[in-house]
Each structure stands twice: as structure tokens, then as C-alpha cells.
């Protein structure tokens, strides 16, 4: 018998006829007004109920007592995010204000919100938090390199959210916490409380919004903890290029224990970025968010957020062993008799996750930074059409082309409503989180690759022998061997897997899928053609 545990916190789900309002709605005439014009709502940091950087054991106790959490057989805390089990990209907003409006890449990813609406939602969130019996504050850092790090404060009303950010941010020492001072960025997470869907610019009862002028984030109507993680990344994706002149990347990174060579892995959720970077023969810098700086590579985060679907000790031993006391299992079904997590059960969501401090990885390099430039870049894609080879070496022009195109397939569970792989083009392999125009990131990447003579490889972790539904996904063990060798031939990997044409029984069907995917690349890249050199435009597929 498998028990699907409920949670007392369920966000009301009310669809509105103006859902997904156009991103280019008329900005408010309040842009540029002095910030004192707006709400003076504040948060009382001296409240006796506030628990700042609480011990993990205390957060366990509160989550069990107040939120219906349980302790798994491995010692991890199993908790639940309610109605929302993935990010809500249609409800993400960026405040249109004079300090950042000329840098933001406005569109369907960065949807405009006026300052007045932000102040309404901010006050709504703070008022809600001020009524809670338990309020949690976590102060931590984003960025392991002290030259480029920022101080982040998270204010929330669920122990689950406090423990999550305790794991995902860089935890300060006692001395650093005593001297923390004022934060550079604040997250007000009132996710249990809905947004007012009739407020101007709202598309639903969920709102996730960032204000670069205030350097604040407000969350209403979603308890999915990943929104906070990606909010911090969005801020770093803005600050690193604009303020520090460094390149922020949606990537994992590791380096060889003996040779010291650094590899960056680009890819969206579900492409294998986390899994492939957790290589026992190499030291892990981080699994998801990094900055390629003038002096080397550093992790933005203090933890890992791994997918748990079909997780096993045999397939992913490093991640499996990290699930212990202090980790959070999110939306994972378990046995009520044994408290053993069932990673194959997706009755709650396919987007089951585990968040744990990076030091729980036996091969983690602490501190998570290296003063050495990368030797290899690996661009991971999950090809649902089954036509891309498992490995291709890219020229510098091809690397820039594929970085801008960012082809992959959205996999089930990473966003609400995704139930099977959907081919998509996610520019810079981070479209849901991108802040500046993609060309700015691509130009910085190209410059760094040329300067440091970095090789680039496109690796397909998707389907072979047919498209999704008829073929099969490339086995992880083969992909690992390819990554280890980066070759023209790989011992122990079937020849037909390296050449997708040989893996298809129906050659006409293969050609149809090739033409279909090539056409999709051309259509997607048309958005960037006018902003890139001719040699980059010519690096795309030729039909």
C-alpha cells in the first residue's frame, strides 16, 4: 500500500478570463517616481516569533508539527508544496522601472509589471507574514566567490521553505551571520496566500515578481519552493553581467581530480545536467547555476536540487546517498508502514525533487569555486525526435548558434501541464530565467571560449532508434562513457547509437524527422539572426 500524503496548505486555484495577459501591456505612469511615494509597509524583524537561521532539527519539528511533514526512513524530511508542484512561468513578472528597464529583454519570459501593482502585492505579502504565528528568516549568500557574491534574506511562513533555502543558499558561518548587516536581496514568500486576481496585471491567484530597483521578490499563491531558487538565479543572471561584467550560466560544473581540467554542462531540467556532473571520478563544483568569471568558475548555490523520478542507488549512487537528515524530499510518495520513499510513484507529480546541501555529495569541492578556466563545454539536449547523434563536436560558430537556439524537449513535471516531452527552443539553455537579451550572454560566451581556447560538444541524452513513443531514451551508462571520453568512437557503446541513422529501421521516417527538426531550428533562430555574424547564421542545419 502506498500512501499519498496531503498537506493542509492548498492554494486556491481560480482561472480568470484574462489569464496570460499580454506582456506588452501599457506600463504605469508611476515609473521613475521616488520610491517613498509607494507603500511604506515594513517587516518587523524584532518580532519574538521570528526564527532566524533556525537549526535544521527545529525546522524538522515545526514542519512535522504544523505542516504534515514526515521523516523518511533515510532521515530526509518529506514535505509537500500543495496545488503547485512546478514553476508557474506564466505568472512570473519583472517590475518595469527606470534603473533596469533598458537592460531587460522584455517579452513573454519577462512580463512587465508596474511599480504600483508590485507595491500592492508586496504589502499584501508582508501583511500576511505579519499575521503568522511562526515566521522564518534565513540569511545566506548567493555566489561562492566573495568578489561577486550577494547577501540574500528569505522571509517565509513555512519551515519547509526555510529549510529549502538553508540547503540551497550558501550557509554563513556564525561570524558571517553576526556581521551580515542589511541584505542585497530580499524574498517575501507568502505563497500560502493568493494574489488578488483582479489587481491590474494579475493573470491568476499566483504571482512571482522581482523588482530590481527594490532588489526584492514577492511570492503569492504558490508554495513550490523552486520559485525561490530560480528567483535568486534571475537576480544573479541580471547582476553578474550588468554590475560585475561576469557571465552567469544555467549550467553544472566539475573538474578532474588529477588534471584539474574544468567542464561546464549546459542544459535545462531533465537533460541530465545534475546527474552527469555528479561523476565519482571528478570533483563537483555545482549542479545547476554558475558564473564563469575572469579568474575561473564558481557556483552560485550552496546546495543541489535533484530530480527524484526513478531514482535508485544503482543508477545515481551519489545523489541517492545525499538523501539523509537535513535533506528535503519534495512531493515524494512514501510507504506509511516503512517510511521508505517510492521514487517510481508519480501520483503526486513527475517533478519529485530532493534539495540537499552540496557537502552531502561525497565528491563536492568545498569551497565551490576553481581559479582555472574551463577546458570543455558540454551542451546537453534531450532530442524527442531521435535524430541528433549522441555526441557532436562544435566549431565556435556552431557553439554560439546552439547556445542561442538552445534546443531540447521540456520533460514531464518541470512545469505545470507538461505531461510528455515537448520540443522547445530555450535560448542560452535558460529561457525561463533569462533576464538580458540572449545576444549579450552569447557574445560573452563566445569571447571567453575564444580567449581561453575552450572545446564545445553537443550531447544528446534524448531518444534513439525512433522519436518519443517509438524509440528509447539513450541509456545513462552510454552517455557517461561518451562524456568521459569525448571521442569519435567509444568502447562499449553500440555503433548504431553513435549514428542515429543506423538506429532507425524506417529510413524514410528518419528523413522526415530530420527535415522537421531542421525546419524548427531555422524558425526558432530567426529571432536572433539580425543580431549575429553571418558565420554564426551559417552554422545552423542545412536542409
Per-residue pLDDT band at 6 (split at 50, 70, 90) = very low
pLDDT value at residue 466: 87
Lowest mean pLDDT among 109-113, 431-435, 478-482: 478-482
In this structure, how many other beta carbons lie within 10 angstroms of the beta carbon of residue 123? Answer: 17
pLDDT value at residue 412: 60
* SS3 label, residue 305: strand
Lowest mean pLDDT among 39-48, 89-98, 99-108, 423-432: 39-48
CB 135 within 8 A of CB 49: yes
The pLDDT tens digits of the residues spanning 257-300 come to 888 899 999 987 778 887 888 788 899 999 999 999 999 999 99
Residue 531 burial (C-beta neighbours within 10 Å; 0-12, 13-18, 19+): middle
515 counts as catalytic: no
Q: List phi, psi (to 5°) of 377.
A: -115, 130
Question: Is 2 a residue whose pLDDT tops 90?
Answer: no
pLDDT value at residue 315: 86
Per-residue pLDDT band at 40 (split at 50, 70, 90) = low
Query: Count of alpha carbons within 13 Å of 457, Cβ hemisphere only?
Result: 22
495 counts as catalytic: no
197 counts as catalytic: no
User: Going by C-beta distance under 8 Å and a sequence separation of 6 or more, which residues neighbour residue 269?
Assistant: 307, 411, 414
Grid coordinates of 469 = 513513443
Exposure string over 231-268, b if 16+ CB within 10 A, otherwise e: bbbbbbbbbbbbebebbbbbbbbbbeeeeeebbbbbbb
Q: Which residue has the cell 510528455?
A: 420
Of the residues 114, 139, 288, 416, only one is catalytic, namely 288
Of the residues 149, 353, 402, 410, only one is catalytic, namely 353
- Kindly state the percentage of the chain with pLDDT values over 90: 61
Q: List phi, psi (to 5°) of 203.
A: -110, -15
Query: Closest by alpha carbon to 500, among 396, 386, 333?
Result: 386
Got the DSSP string for 135-155? EEEEEEEE-SSTTT-EEEEEE
Question: Is 95 a residue whose pLDDT tops 50?
Answer: yes
Lowest mean pLDDT among 304-308, 490-494, 532-536: 490-494
More confident residue, 385 or 65: 65
Segment 514-527 shows an average pLDDT of: 89
273 counts as catalytic: yes
* SS3 label, residue 161: helix
Could you state, in order of their start, the residue ranges of all structural domains in the chain? 375-538
The rounded distance, in Å, linking the Cα atoms of 212 and 96 is: 9
Of the residues 72, 248, 269, 381, only one is catalytic, namely 269
pLDDT value at residue 84: 95
* SS3 label, residue 219: strand
Lowest mean pLDDT among 40-44, 103-107, 327-331, 461-465: 40-44
Query: Count of alpha carbons within 13 Å of 341, Cβ hemisphere only?
Result: 31
Query: Closest by alpha carbon to 86, among 301, 348, 345?
Result: 348
535 counts as catalytic: no
The pLDDT tens digits of the residues spanning 207-263 come to 999 999 999 999 999 999 999 999 999 999 999 999 999 999 999 999 998 888 999
Of the residues 250, 290, 307, 467, only one is catalytic, namely 250
- Kindly state the percentage of the chain with pLDDT values over 70: 87
Grid coordinates of 492 = 562499449
User: Going by C-beta distance under 8 Å and a sequence separation of 6 or more, which residues neighbour residue 287?
Assistant: 252, 273, 274, 277, 278, 304, 305, 306, 358
Grid coordinates of 164 = 529549502
CATH topology of domain 375-538: Phosphoenolpyruvate Carboxykinase; domain 3 (3.90.228)
Question: Is 64 a residue whose pLDDT tops 60?
Answer: yes
Query: Closest by alpha carbon to 165, among 73, 83, 91, 227?
Result: 227
Q: What is the mean pLDDT of the chain?
A: 87
Where in 174-332 does DSSP place strands (E)? Answer: 185-190, 207-211, 216-220, 247-256, 262-266, 282-286, 289-292, 297-299, 303-307, 328-330
Of the residues 93, 171, 273, 290, only one is catalytic, namely 273
pLDDT value at residue 86: 93
CB 195 within 8 A of CB 127: no
Q: What is the dihedral of CA 96, 101, 104, 110, to 10 degrees?
A: 10
The rounded distance, in Å, linking the Cα atoms of 62 and 346 is: 26
Segment 391-397 shows an average pLDDT of: 89
The pLDDT tens digits of the residues spanning 112-132 come to 999 999 999 999 999 999 889
pTM over 0.75: yes
Of the residues 84, 87, 237, 402, only one is catalytic, namely 87
The pLDDT tens digits of the residues spanning 471-520 come to 888 888 888 888 887 655 566 777 666 778 888 888 888 898 889 888 98
Of the residues 124, 230, 282, 307, only one is catalytic, namely 230
The pLDDT tens digits of the residues spanning 12-38 come to 333 333 333 333 445 545 455 444 444
Of the residues 11, 88, 274, 446, only one is catalytic, namely 274
pLDDT value at residue 302: 98
87 counts as catalytic: yes
Per-residue pLDDT band at 147 (split at 50, 70, 90) = very high
230 counts as catalytic: yes
pLDDT value at residue 468: 81
Segment 370-389 shows an average pLDDT of: 92
Amino acid at each position: 500500500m502506498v500512501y499519498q500524503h496531503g498537506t493542509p496548505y492548498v492554494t486556491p486555484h481560480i482561472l480568470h478570463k484574462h489569464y496570460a495577459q499580454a506582456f506588452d501591456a501599457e506600463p504605469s505612469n508611476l515609473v521613475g517616481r521616488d520610491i517613498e511615494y509607494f507603500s511604506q509597509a515594513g517587516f518587523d524583524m524584532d518580532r519574538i516569533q521570528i526564527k532566524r537561521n533556525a537549526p535544521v532539527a527545529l525546522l524538522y519539528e515545526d514542519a512535522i508539527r504544523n505542516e504534515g511533514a514526515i521523516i523518511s526512513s533515510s532521515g530526509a524530511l518529506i514535505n509537500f508544496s500543495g496545488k503547485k508542484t512546478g514553476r508557474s512561468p506564466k505568472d512570473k513578472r519583472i517590475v518595469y522601472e527606470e534603473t533596469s528597464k533598458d537592460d531587460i529583454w522584455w517579452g513573454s519570459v519577462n512580463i512587465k509589471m508596474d511599480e504600483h501593482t508590485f507595491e500592492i502585492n508586496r504589502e499584501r505579502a508582508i501583511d500576511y507574514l505579519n499575521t503568522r504565528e511562526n515566521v522564518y528568516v534565513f540569511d545566506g549568500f548567493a555566489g561562492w566567490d566573495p568578489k561577486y557574491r550577494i547577501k540574500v534574506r528569505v522571509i517565509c511562513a513555512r519551515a519547509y521553505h526555510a529549510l529549502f533555502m538553508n540547503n540551497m543558499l550558501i550557509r554563513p558561518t556564525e561570524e558571517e551571520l553576526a556581521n551580515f548587516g542589511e541584505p542585497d536581496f530580499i524574498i517575501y514568500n507568502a505563497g500560502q496566500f493568493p494574489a488578488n486576481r483582479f489587481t491590474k496585471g494579475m493573470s491568476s491567484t499566483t504571482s512571482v515578481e522581482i523588482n530590481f530597483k527594490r532588489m526584492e521578490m514577492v511570492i503569492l499563491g504558490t508554495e513550490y519552493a523552486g520559485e525561490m531558487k530560480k528567483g535568486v538565479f534571475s537576480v544573479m543572471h541580471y547582476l553578474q553581467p550588468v554590475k560585475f561584467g561576469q557571465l552567469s550560466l544555467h549550467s553544472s560544473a566539475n573538474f578532474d581530480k588529477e588534471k584539474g581540467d574544468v567542464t561546464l554542462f549546459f542544459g535545462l531540467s531533465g537533460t541530465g545536467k545534475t546527474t552527469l556532473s555528479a561523476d565519482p571520478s571528478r570533483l563537483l563544483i555545482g549542479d545547476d547555476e554558475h558564473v564563469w568569471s575572469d579568474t575561473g568558475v564558481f557556483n552560485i548555490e550552496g546546495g543541489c536540487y535533484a530530480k527524484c523520478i526513478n531514482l535508485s542507488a544503482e543508477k545515481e549512487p551519489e545523489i541517492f546517498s545525499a538523501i539523509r537528515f537535513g535533506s528535503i524530499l519534495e512531493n515524494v510518495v512514501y510507504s506509511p508502514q516503512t517510511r521508505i520513499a517510492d521514487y517510481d510513484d508519480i501520483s503526486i507529480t513527475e517533478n519529485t525533487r530532493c534539495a540537499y546541501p552540496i557537502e552531502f555529495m561525497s565528491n563536492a569541492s568545498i569551497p565551490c569555486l576553481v581559479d582555472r578556466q574551463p577546458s570543455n563545454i558540454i551542451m546537453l539536449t534531450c532530442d524527442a525526435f531521435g535524430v541528433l547523434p549522441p555526441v557532436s563536436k562544435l566549431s565556435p560558430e556552431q557553439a554560439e548558434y546552439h547556445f542561442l537556439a538552445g534546443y531540447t524537449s521540456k520533460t514531464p513535471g518541470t512545469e505545470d501541464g507538461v505531461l510528455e516531452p515537448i520540443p522547445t527552443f530555450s535560448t542560452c539553455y535558460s529561457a525561463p530565467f533569462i533576464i538580458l537579451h540572449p545576444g549579450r550572454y552569447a557574445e560573452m560566451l563566445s569571447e571567453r571560449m575564444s580567449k581561453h581556447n575552450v572545446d564545445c560538444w553537443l550531447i544528446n541524452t534524448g531518444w534513439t532508434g525512433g522519436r518519443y513513443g517509438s524509440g528509447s531514451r539513450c541509456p545513462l551508462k552510454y552517455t557517461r562513457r561518451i562524456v568521459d571520453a569525448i571521442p569519435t568512437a567509444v568502447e562499449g557503446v553500440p555503433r548504431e547509437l553513435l549514428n542515429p541513422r543506423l538506429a532507425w529501421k524506417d529510413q524514410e521516417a528518419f528523413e522526415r524527422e530530420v527535415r522537421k527538426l531542421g525546419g524548427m531550428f531555422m524558425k526558432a533562430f530567426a529571432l536572433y539572426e539580425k543580431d549575429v555574424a553571418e558565420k554564426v547564421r551559417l552554422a545552423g542545419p542545412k536542409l
